[in-house]
Amino acid sequence: MNKIIKIILFLVLALPIPLQKILAEEKIKIGLLVPLTGKNAEIGKSIIKATQLAINKIDNSTIEIYPKDTKSNPNDTLKAAKELGELGIKIIIGPVFNDNLTYLDELKEITFLSFTNKSNNASKNIISAGINATSQLRTIKKFIKIQKIRKTIFLTPNKSYKNEIEKAIINSKLKISKNYIYDSDPTKLTSQIEKITNYEKRKRNLEDEITRLEKSNDTNKERLIEKLKKKDTLGDVKFDSLIIADFDQSLKSVTTSLLYTDVSPKNKYFITLNQWFDDSLLKESSAQPIYFPSVNKKNYEDFTMDYFKKFKKYPNQLSFLSFDLVGLVYYLILKNDSIIDDKIFTKKNIFKGKVGIFEIKNNRMNHILNFYKVENKEFKKIF
């Protein structure tokens, strides 16, 4: 798409910006790399529509956005990025997918704000702007400190993001007893959870105690035996909380296996990663309460409602992030006296957007997130 979309973002900033800076004489050009054709076209179109929401709020065209089609392909992404560079564009929002970053380190004069949440890219001109695992674990770490939780274990599925999780545990300095890697295959999962929770031994403890009482002369043994028979196990597990790095049905399979092994969220903290307020979690009453870090729920709902009113469709999650990324770039450029150079993302800055608070320093970006729990079939904000 070669059509220029002129927009000025409505910003909710932590620091006010003088009016004379907003009225800059020269236009600010920002590139946008998104899939506009192929199987991922709807994602790209949703991102562009999210920027159009801002147009309705401001009638001053200070920023010029130049969208280009990546076709979800690394080679096409590089070609589109080069075309944007030829227009003098030095900052590009996108691409969407991590695989499309492959060749962009060639364009060292351009800074890319990728939507990916993976932070394993070593290229200095590529900044991962997605809600990464380190940001999430830092928020979880804060919750663990507030609740004075002493012993935490980590459950990580053997999936493509396994290494990213392991790296985030180190980066966040989160203290855990052990990180268990499990197979998400339902036929194998339960037996793995049994080992992690020492289920067989706890079950045997119960059987042994019932047998002991039956042979004892304890005057209250009948009552005690009856009480024990209502239990599934005897003895506690060796952790106070567990963090499950999983999503959707796989997450539910893990919580179901934990319940089967007599580990309940009523007496142990069940914590997971950002679930984007998945409504299906509300239906899993047996797995409540369950806790997770996330974007600001009210802002997310307000954005979704505005988007639906305008386009009669619901946005994808990346479009919510894209709204803030354009505002972030605009804010940093103005703060840098409208000079667009590679120093913009090296200085320490804090930006408040709809997603939450962005922290930027040395070409790295982290999010300061909120923390929620699902309880009594509703999402409740903790902090």
CATH of 133-198+237-294, one of 3.30.43.10, 3.40.50.2300, 3.30.1300.10, 3.40.50.1970: 3.40.50.2300
Are the CB atoms for 135 and 117 separated by under 8 Å? Answer: no
Regarding beta strands 357-361 and 364-368, do their DSSP bridges make them parallel or antiparallel, or are they unpaired? antiparallel
Is 327 a residue whose pLDDT tops 60? yes
Q: What is the pLDDT of residue 304?
A: 95
Q: What are the φ/ψ torsions at residue 68 (nearest 5 degrees)?
A: -135, 145
In the numeric block, the tokens 């929002």 are attached to 93
Q: CA 343, 347, 352, 356 torsion: positive or negative? A: positive
Q: What superfamily would CATH give domain 5-130+297-367?
A: Response regulator (3.40.50.2300)
Q: 133-198+237-294: same fold as 5-130+297-367? A: yes
Is 347 a residue whose pLDDT tops 80? yes
Is 229 a residue whose pLDDT tops 50? yes
Centroid of chain to Cα 17 = 29
> What is the overall mean pLDDT for the chain?
90
> pTM, whole model, 2 decimals?
0.88
Rg of the chain, C-alpha, whole Å: 25
> Would you list the domain boundaries of the chain?
5-130+297-367, 133-198+237-294
Is 12 a residue whose pLDDT tops 70? no
Q: Is 148 exposed, middle or buried (0-12, 13-18, 19+ CB in 10 A)?
A: exposed
Q: Output DSSP code: residue 301.
A: H
Is 7 a residue whose pLDDT tops 70? no
pLDDT in tens, 156-175: 999 999 999 999 999 999 99
pLDDT in tens, 173-189: 999 999 999 999 989 99
Q: What is the pLDDT of residue 59?
A: 56
13 pLDDT band, cuts 50/70/90, is very low
Q: What is the pLDDT of residue 181?
A: 98
Classify 78 as helix, strand or coil. Answer: helix
Is 149 a residue whose pLDDT tops 70? yes
Question: Averaged over 260-277, what is the pLDDT?
Answer: 97
pLDDT in tens, 63-76: 889 999 999 999 99
